[in-house]
Amino acid sequence: MRQRRNQMELKKRKLEEFEATKAKAKLDNDRLVKLFNKKTKLFSIPFISEASDDVKSAIRRCSDEVMLDFIYTDMLKKYAADNNLSYTQLLDYFDDLQEQAESNTSPQSEINENTPAT
C-alpha cells in the first residue's frame, strides 16, 4: 500500500515537472516568435532594408527586444536627421508606408489579380 502511494506521488511530481517544463518552453517559444515577427517587420521598413550589411547582420543577431529596439531607434534617428524630418513628417512617412503595405496585401487586390478578365 505504501509503495503504491509512493509511486502515485512520484508520478504526480513527474507530471508537475513536465507541465512546468512545457510551460517554460511555451514562454520561450512565444518570446522567440514575437522577436522574429518584430525583425520581419523591421526589414519591411525601407531605410532598414536598404541599410548596410552591418546593420542587417546586427538585427538578425539580436537575441532580445531591448537591443533590437535600440538599433531601430538609432536607425530612425539617423534617417530623420539625414532627411531633416520633423516628428510629424516622420509619422506621415510611416502612415504612407502602412497604407502601401495594406494596399499591397489586401484580400480584394489578391482576388482581382487572380481573377481573369471577362
What's the chain's average pLDDT?
86
The answer to whether 67 and 42 have CB atoms below 8 angstroms apart is: no
This prediction's pTM:
0.67
Q: What are the residues whose beta carbons fall under 8 Å from the beta carbon of 11, sequence distance 6 or more?
A: none
Closest to 90 in 3D by CA, of 98, 80, 78: 80
Query: What is the arithmetic mean of pLDDT over 25-33?
Result: 94
Q: How many Å separate Cα 29 from the centre of its chain? A: 12
Grid cell, residue 87, equals: 516628428
Residue with more model confidence, 18 or 104: 18
Residue with more model confidence, 101 or 74: 74
Is the model's pLDDT at 9 over the cut of 80? yes
DSSP state of 116: P
Q: Is 79 exposed, middle or buried (0-12, 13-18, 19+ CB in 10 A)?
A: middle
The answer to whether 50 and 78 have CB atoms below 8 angstroms apart is: no
Sign for the pseudo-dihedral over CA of 82, 45, 54, 52: negative
The pLDDT score that the predictor gives to residue 1 is 74
The answer to whether 42 and 72 have CB atoms below 8 angstroms apart is: yes
